[in-house]
Amino acid sequence: MGRPLDGGSGPHNEGHASDRGRVYQAAGDQQITEHHYHYPVRRGGLRRVVRWRLPEAWRPALPFAVPVAFVLVIVLALKVWPTAQGSPADEGRGAAERPQGAAAASPDRSAGSPAPSEPSWSPSPPEPSPSLSPPADAQWFGEMKLTSVDLDADPPKIVADDDEANTTFKVGYQSGRDGAGVEIEGLQILWDRKNSVALWEDSATPTSQQCVDRIGQQGAKSLPLSEGSRFCVSSWDGRVGLVDVGAYDETLEAYKGTVIVWPPCRKHCSSLPHG
């Protein structure tokens, strides 16, 4: 039995809750007392919550994690972006156009147009001319720039202006290309210049012996030079040469000439000046 709701005495009913909390109530005011029973739940029916904590050794590096991640994202974007700009179709079109551009830029060799070339400073054999042809006994025959020339070299070559020990003859341009300012000068040792150049005025090409005789008879230290003039010259080693002066080359800023060189003189050469 229970107590009245107002704390007084009097008739009253007391209800009992059972059957998992269901309450059966009689008529009238009732005082209901609920009894809750908690039964143990099987372990397999509970959800397990996994909580992960950062290891202590990693915590000092946590402030740097965000900047490093940001930098990695930027680097990756820079690598991917250029690749995304092009497409295989664009590359195919570029590859197809390149050979056409290259063919248009390159000169047509088959059409016979010569390729541009730098002026050559080394002697080269010229086409034989009616006025001067290579003799059968000549050691060398070719065209040269007329400055300081060494005929004892094989083949003859241009040397420095101050290389007197290897200079067979020198053409000086002290006063320009015209007038008496251009001269051909012979062998020189210090201040002693030899009478090793002679003017050849005949129209026929001389022989080696004729040049030897002309130098012996009319040799000079230097002579005026102009286009069309010819000179017999002798070298330090006893070689004899003929210099046929050609036109003045504006590009080279010097005269060009055709040169014949004979082997060193072995006999009848006592009149030749040499070292």
Q: Are strands 13-18 and 30-33 parallel, antiparallel or unpaired?
A: parallel
The total domain count for the chain is 2
* DSSP output for 176-203: -SSGGGEEEE--EETTEE---EEE---S
What is the domain range of residue 7?
A: 1-35
Interior angle at CA 75, CA 74 and CA 80, nearest 5: 100
Please tell me the predicted confidence (pLDDT) of residue 145. Answer: 96
Q: Is residue 268 a part of any domain in this protein?
A: no
Please tell me the predicted confidence (pLDDT) of residue 189. Answer: 77
Q: Is residue 85 a part of any domain in this protein?
A: no
Q: Is residue 109 a part of any domain in this protein?
A: no
Question: 3-class DSSP state for residue 57?
Answer: helix
Q: Is residue 222 a part of any domain in this protein?
A: yes
Please tell me the predicted confidence (pLDDT) of residue 181. Answer: 77
Among 33, 10, 12, 30, residue whose Cα is nearest residue 21:
33
pLDDT digit string, tens, across residues 211-257: 999 999 999 999 999 999 999 999 999 999 999 999 999 999 999 99
Please tell me the predicted confidence (pLDDT) of residue 14. Answer: 54
Q: Is residue 54 a part of any domain in this protein?
A: no
| Residue 19 vs residues 24, 29, 42, 229: alpha-carbon distances, Å | 10, 22, 21, 144
Q: Is residue 8 a part of any domain in this protein?
A: yes
Question: 3-class DSSP state for residue 14?
Answer: strand
Q: Which residues of the chain have pLDDT under 50?
A: 1-2, 5, 45-46, 49, 95-96, 98-113, 116-121, 126-130, 179
Q: Is residue 252 a part of any domain in this protein?
A: yes
Q: Is residue 52 a part of any domain in this protein?
A: no
